[in-house]
Chain A
Amino acid sequence: MTDDNLVLHAWGPWIVPRRVFGNARRLLRTHAFRLAALYFLVFAASVSGVLLFVYWTSADFVERQTEATLDAEITGLAEQYALRGLSGLVQIVAARSAGDRGDGMLYLVTDPSGRPLAGNIAAWPTGVPAYAGRLSFTTEARVKDRIETHPAQGASFIIPGGYRLLVGRDIADATAFRNRVKITLLWAGLVALGVGLLGGTAMSRNLLRRVELVNRTSERVMAGDLSDRVPLDGTSDEFDQLATNLNRMLDQIERLMTAMREVTDDVAHDLKTPLSRMRVRLELALLDPADSSGQTEAIRSAIDEADRLLATFNALLSIAELESGTRPDEGEALDLSEVARSAAELYEPVAEEKGIVLSLATEPGVRIRGSRHLLSQALANLLDNALKYAGGGEIQIRVLRGEGRAALEVSDRGQGIPEADRETVFNRFVRLEPSRSTPGNGLGLSLVRAVVRRHRGIVELADNRPGLRVRLEFPKLAT
């Protein structure tokens, strides 16, 4: 484990100072950080764009208002001049300059030498040409007993005869407004970017935290604690779904591991006895080399024992193979009644010899998809069991159909299986007789269940009053 990994473990919602460096370094590498950074960049660009647009439109609006007022004033004055000549112009300028109208309009009419004739500006501003068209200048304004220099915008004209006219507008308020807007928008931008940065960081840390939970669980599972699970936060979002799926996978793995361990234990237990028996017999035969018939007998019984062991192994392997699900699905469409008929025909003479009536009741057209060989084997196992435990009376094989299901039933009139044992009998090596006097390896029903599950079916044990009824159900094929 590298130092990096140690730091990785240390990640938590609260940053401990000495881990900051490690965290920062790690943060830069994470997908979550890159996402957050990208998000922040896009966010910052759009916020800046919006704010610039707002600033530009509001500043432009004020400027255009000033322009429009100036234009209207100039047009008005030009009309007056055209109507009433210079004296009219002086008169109207004097009238408009009288008193503070609060609109910041500035007027000045001078004679050709620059001496003011009318207006609210004391003197022709320095540096302003006599005829300049549109221009910017500064003017002195009285604000609460103080003289301030204000920026102004306007236009100057020369009237025939050398007289000069200056029309302008004090734009100190507009400039102040524009500055206020600028500052406001700047602050708004800073706040928005700050929030964006915080949001992005929080988002990436939340993502990281949840990925970390998954990582930590995986590491603990890898270290051998198969019972650990990824915690859910109950939001059923993608992370919860991922966690749920991972947990389900772990459940499945744990179940398989447990099953495997049980099988190994069972195998060890159930195979040890016959092996030691075999060993004892061979050893005994070796003790008396003169007894050749005894030796032959010992060898023969050892071979029989070995055969039984091998048969048990084969059955175990078949079950394991069926349960592992690695074999491709054999998907031949077949008539369940045919399978039942063939098995009934094979077993009927044996049943009769044991004084048991084997009967078959089928419905036509009960078809399923599956392997005839496997289904026959499952049915044969059920019939083997029924013959062993029925103890006379009757065995009935029935093929019937239900709601989209195809069912195969084997019922007998024997002892039956107590309700408490109906689940355990499917486990490997389970035999209900304590004495184990009847031949068999306790794998028959395990194989039946494995075959049925392979066919996506279910197997049920029920009371036949008296006796046992085994019902296999499969998805039915449409006819």
Chain B
Amino acid sequence: MKLLVVEDDRETALYLVKGLSESGYTVDRAGDGREGLFLASSGSYDAIVLDRMLPSMDGLAMLGALRAAGISTPALILSALGSVDDRVKGLRAGGDDYLVKPFAFSELLARLEALLRRGAVTAATTKLRVADLELDLLTRTVRRRDKPIEVLPREFRLLEYLMRNAGHVVTRTMLLEHVWDYHFDPQTNVIDVHVSRLRQKIDKSFDSPLLHTVRGAGYCLRAPEPSAP
């Protein structure tokens, strides 16, 4: 997977390039908007990580020019501007996700993965499956090992999001944004309790747990290791 990081601050850029390379990505770096636009115009990247405030050409302008040229490489905007307005502006300009600085690296990684997967999921899917857990988007039902599981509407959406990102880490902030459409982090650990309730329903009476807590990062729904006895 090939990524383009457009970031003018040297230290932040080094940190991003180092972290992303260690996570297995091939990373190119551009120091300003013009260079970023030039590199991104080749269309050879899988995703772009873009700082919003850049010299010579603002991040949003660069993204606008890129989208106008018909290049739809998924872009994640990094910005110190965190208000709802700024976020909306960023997404309108053609950004696919918006992350407010400062951020935890694990958060960036989780979001990038989700972004990269987005293109892969076919829209026509009506059923999501992870191991023996099955979620039917049409009938709005959940079954595990063919046994129906009662879930509340919000739990259904939570599970759907986790299953669409199966095998990958999903952060609490991502859940708040996509399941509740809340763009701030409450002080109380509200998400943890929702997840543990969902876990009660889908994992409790089964020997192999699917929903895991990833310490310091978030949650991950994944099939049990095939090598399990």
| Interface of A toward B, CB cutoff 8 Å | 306-307, 310-311, 314, 317-318, 321, 327-328, 330, 342, 345-347, 349-350, 353, 371, 373-374, 376-377, 380-381, 383-384, 387-388, 439-440, 444
Contact = CB atoms under 8 A, between A and B. Distances in A.
A370 to B, nearest CB: 12
24 contacts: A307-B102, A307-B104, A310-B102, A314-B100, A317-B82, A318-B82, A321-B83, A327-B83, A328-B85, A330-B84, A330-B85, A346-B180, A349-B197, A353-B193, A373-B84, A373-B184, A376-B182, A380-B182, A380-B184, A381-B187, A383-B186, A387-B188, A439-B187, A444-B187
Nearest to B82: A314
A335 to B, nearest CB: 15
A306 B183 CA distance: 21
Given A321-B83, A327-B85, A330-B84, A347 B188 contact: yes
Interface string B192-212: 011001000000000000000
B181 to A, nearest CB: 8
Contacts of B190: 346-347, 349-350
A117 B176 CA distance: 135
Contacts of B227: none
Contact of A349 (B102, B183, B194): B194
A347 B197 CA distance: 13
Give 4 closest A-B pairs by Cβ, nearest first: A349-B193, A384-B187, A373-B84, A380-B186
B188 A384 contact: yes
Nearest to A371: B84
B154 interface: yes
A374 B180 contact: no
Nearest to A372: B181
A350 B193 contact: yes
Q: Which of A307, A346, A383, A388 has the most CB of B within 10 A?
A: A346
Interface residues on B, range: 20 to 34
Contacts of A380: 182, 184, 186
A318 B182 contact: no
B125 interface: no
B12 interface: no
A453 to B, nearest CB: 16
A170 to B, nearest CB: 99
B152 to A, nearest CB: 9
A428 to B, nearest CB: 16
B49 to A, nearest CB: 20
Contact of A440 (B154, B187, B189, B194): B187
B188 A342 contact: no
Chain A interface mostly: helix
A130 B104 CA distance: 129
Interface of B: 82-85, 100, 102, 104, 154, 180, 182-190, 193-194, 197
A37 B154 CA distance: 80
B229 to A, nearest CB: 33
Nearest to B191: A346
Contacts of B187: 381, 384, 388, 439-440, 444
Contacts of A387: 188
Nearest to A352: B193
A383 B188 contact: yes
Contacts of A353: 193
Contacts of B84: 330, 371, 373-374
Contacts of A373: 84, 182-184
A93 to B, nearest CB: 111
A198 B11 CA distance: 75
Given A310-B102, A347-B190, A377 B180 contact: no
Given A380-B186, A383-B188, A345 B154 contact: yes
Contacts of B186: 346, 380-381, 383-384
Contact of A350 (B180, B184, B188): B188
Nearest to A317: B82
B204 to A, nearest CB: 16
Contacts of B82: 314, 317-318
Contact of B180 (A306, A317, A342, A384): A342
Nearest to B154: A345
Contacts of B194: 346, 349
Contacts of B85: 327-328, 330
Contacts of B100: 314
Nearest to B192: A350
A327 B183 CA distance: 17
Given A318-B83, A330-B85, A377 B193 contact: no
Nearest to B85: A327
Contact of A346 (B102, B104, B182, B197): B182
A334 to B, nearest CB: 13
A55 B98 CA distance: 90
A375 B167 CA distance: 34
Contacts of A383: 186, 188
Contacts of B104: 307
Nearest to B100: A314
Contacts of A328: 85
A350 B191 CA distance: 9
A120 B180 CA distance: 126
A377 B184 contact: yes
Contacts of B183: 373
A171 B189 CA distance: 116
B214 to A, nearest CB: 16
A371 B84 CA distance: 9
A374 B84 CA distance: 8
A307 B101 CA distance: 11
Contacts of B180: 342, 346
A317 B188 CA distance: 21
Nearest to B182: A376
Contacts of A347: 188, 190
Contacts of A345: 154
A328 B104 CA distance: 30
A345 B176 CA distance: 13
B109 to A, nearest CB: 16
A440 B186 CA distance: 11
Nearest to B84: A373
